[in-house]
Structure 1
Amino acid sequence: MDDQGVLNRIDELVHEEEELLHRHESEGLDSEEEARMEEIKVQLDKAWDYLRQRRSLRQYGGDPDDASMRDGGTVEEYGNVTPYDEADTD
């Protein structure tokens, strides 16, 4: 998928997420919709990660088509990484 295709997919997911958020605020979500909302979050994280890979490869002379879509578990773990703290090197 090229960059524009990824951006289009991100737009679709954001639109669906917004619809579910509005529904959540007005009438609440059933368990199926809540599960879909979580799936959308993972799919968005994966799409943004893939787009960043493509852009990075292009920027540093690589082939953006060498980027790969990572699994949701890998992408979701990025949020759990703590920044390097020099004070911890003692």
Structure 2
Amino acid sequence: MKIVLYFLCFTALLFSGAQAAKFANDFNVTWGKQNVNITSGRRGDVVTLKLTKEKGGAGFRSLSPFLYGQFSMKMKLIKGNSSGTITTFYVGLLLQLF
């Protein structure tokens, strides 16, 4: 009986389809596609947004809600002349009413 139970558990895990989701497949660039770069690495997917004088910035949103996740931000300012630089980083929640 124990062997049958182990076999059923193993089979359920094998065919459950549980896998790590790729963030790159679950979001949509809303504006500034030329300023978005997506890379995959050992610690997950990285989305890089650029802000340039000529092409502006970029924005994106997820296609579905996430249970958990992490984000961080690094900014590189002009050396010695960064006064007057305005940076904005928004995180929003869209509620769907049933």
When the two structures are superposed, what TM-score results if normalisation uses the length of structure 1?
0.27
Report which structure shows greater RCO (CA 8 Å, sep ≥6): 1
Structure ranking higher in helix proportion: 1
Structure ID, larger Rg: 2
When the two structures are superposed, what TM-score results if normalisation uses the length of structure 2?
0.26
